[in-house]
Amino acid sequence: MKLMENIWLFLVKRKILSKDQIPRYNSLLLIGSFGDDTAIELLIPYLSDQDTLLRNAAIRSLKQILARSQKRSMYLSVLKERFQKAELIEKLAVIEILEVFDIEDREKILINYLSKAEGDLIYAILYALHGTVEVSILDRVLEISESPDLLLRRLAYRTWFEGLRSMEDENLMTYATPSSTI
């Protein structure tokens, strides 16, 4: 890391603790550009911040840092634990951060919540699972598509169709072709 980047990172880490919103907001954004894995611990508490600007800045920076991190899989367990204990606002933040992880990692965290999620959480989960080819998830997504909520139904169908599109031909034929029990 260049000397100037180290200086900026030092200043940003100090300003992130400011009582004023603007310096904290700018610091949260800058830490994504210059920060490394050591900055993650500073950002995670902001996932539950009631201030939307600060929370979104932290989400953006965490995504930037995790996208270039060599230890990304290590932080997956931290995010999973936070997700399990979190209130809705933090659950939505964690789901957004999960975009930097492979679909298989997202499936592991979100599959258990697919059946019991409601409202905004089900929308976020369906969006995060876009592209899954896991049959049990696709079956549940198809059930969700029977909702009277037109937006939820549309998102469920889009997730389901994208899953079918992502499947290998042989798996698609097995999944989509009814089996007879003669």
CATH number for position 66: 1.25.10.10
Query: What confidence score (pLDDT) does residue 18 get?
Result: 85
Q: What's the one-letter identity of residue 100?
A: V
Q: Where does residue 127 rank: exposed (0-12), middle (13-18), buried (19+ CB within 10 A)?
A: middle
Query: What confidence score (pLDDT) does residue 178 get?
Result: 75
Token pair belonging to 74: 């290590």
pLDDT band at 143 (very low <50, low <70, confident <90, very high): very high
- Please give the residue range of the domain that contains residue 155: 102-175
Share of the chain above pLDDT 70, in %: 97
Q: Do both 141 and 52 map to the same domain?
A: no
In this structure, is residue 180 part of a structural domain? Answer: no
Buried b (16+ CB within 10 A) or exposed e, 46-77: bbbbeeeebbbbbbbbbebbbeebeebeebbe
Say if residues 28 and 15 touch (Cβ distance below 8 Å). Answer: no
Query: What confidence score (pLDDT) does residue 73 get?
Result: 87
Number of domains observed in the structure of the chain: 2
Q: Is the pLDDT of residue 9 over 80?
A: no
Query: What confidence score (pLDDT) does residue 106 get?
Result: 95
Q: Is the pLDDT of residue 16 over 90?
A: no
In this structure, is residue 25 part of a structural domain? Answer: yes
Q: What angle do CA 82, 42, 70 make, to 5 degrees?
A: 80
Q: What is the mean pLDDT of residues 99-115?
A: 94
Q: Do both 84 and 108 map to the same domain?
A: no
Domain's final residue, options 58, 75, 100? 100
In this structure, is residue 181 part of a structural domain? Answer: no
